[in-house]
Structure 1
Amino acid sequence: MSQVEESIQVDVPVHTAYNQWTQFESFPEFMDGVERIEQRSDTLTHWVTSVADVKREFDARITEQIPDERVAWTTVGGEAHQAGVVTFHRIDDAKTKVMLQMDFDPEGLAETVGDKLGFVKRQVTGDLGRFKEFIESRGTATGAWRGEV
């Protein structure tokens, strides 16, 4: 099992950053390699990814969701094995620290080598940077889900 932990400061209020993160179907707009996400229920999403010519489909279940604080998930079935949490920390009224922690199990030689070379860490860093650009350029979230899990 491998781990990655990254964070970024975004110049939007905590509720704006959190609200946008609950809009899973918008992830392909800032997550490289994510082709499509379908929200199937309040707690289940279906992902289609393509990274380095490796296409994967899997489901992820939201295991914990607390508005303006955290969203945790784990994959269920499928080829990808991962679990993680994104937490939101208020810096001030207009700034938020977004922290992502993820455990994942690389499959096969290519993924294991890519992990050892820091590919996943760079991917997460890039995705968080694109999230920052996405939400700061909009200034508001594309939607929100304020329920608790």
Structure 2
Amino acid sequence: MSTITEIVDVGVDVTTAYNQWTQFETFPQFMENVERVDQVDPTRTHWTISVGGTTREFDATITEQHPDERIAWRSDDGPRHAGVVTFHRLDDRTTRVTAQLEIDPEGFVENVADKLGVLDRRTKGDMARFKEFIESRDGTETGAWRGSVDRPAQR
């Protein structure tokens, strides 16, 4: 399992940055290899990605979500991964967005890509494109979901 952490400061307030990140359907506009994300219900998403000419689909569950603070998830099937994106107010017009991903590459190609740093670079590029995407919208998000999802109780 590999851990990837990427940080980007975006020129919008924390609420705008957070609200945009809740709009999973827009991810293909700034995430490389993401073809489609469907919000199945408030805590479940269905992803279609294309990697190396191969299309894969998987489901993911939001395991924790608190407005203007964090969104955490884990995959339910397909490529094993989990992560959290946190939002930190730096000032009235600047937010630090931190993505931390835990990825368990499947198969030879994904393991080689991981070892060569391809996944790190892809995440860095996705975060840079998120910055460009949200900043180009003149301080407005495409939508928002302000509900909370509490972390499951530990057993």
Q: TM-score range by the shorter chain?
A: over 0.9
Q: Secondary structure at the match of 1:40?
A: strand
d(CA) in 2 for partners of 1:55, 1:6: 25
How do 1:1-149 residues align onto structure 2 when only pairs under 5 Å count?
A: 1-77=1-77, 79-138=78-137, 139-149=139-149
> How many Å apart are 1:56 and its aligned residue?
1.1
Query: What is the percentage of aligned positions where both structures have the same residue?
Result: 60
User: Which ranges of structure 1 fall in alignment gaps of 5 or more residues?
Assistant: none
d(CA) in 2 for partners of 1:4, 1:53: 23
Query: What is the RMSD computed on CA atoms of the aligned residues?
Result: 0.6
Specify the code of the residue in structure 2 equivalent to 1:66: H
Query: In the TM superposition, what whole-angstrom CA distance separates every residue of 1:50-89 from its partner, at most 9, and x where no partner exists?
Result: 0221321000100000000000000002x21000000000
TM-score, structure 1 normalization: 0.98
> How many Å apart are 1:145 and its aligned residue?
0.2
Specify the code of the residue in structure 1 equivalent to 2:60: A
TM-score, structure 2 normalization: 0.94
Residues paired across the two proteins, number: 148
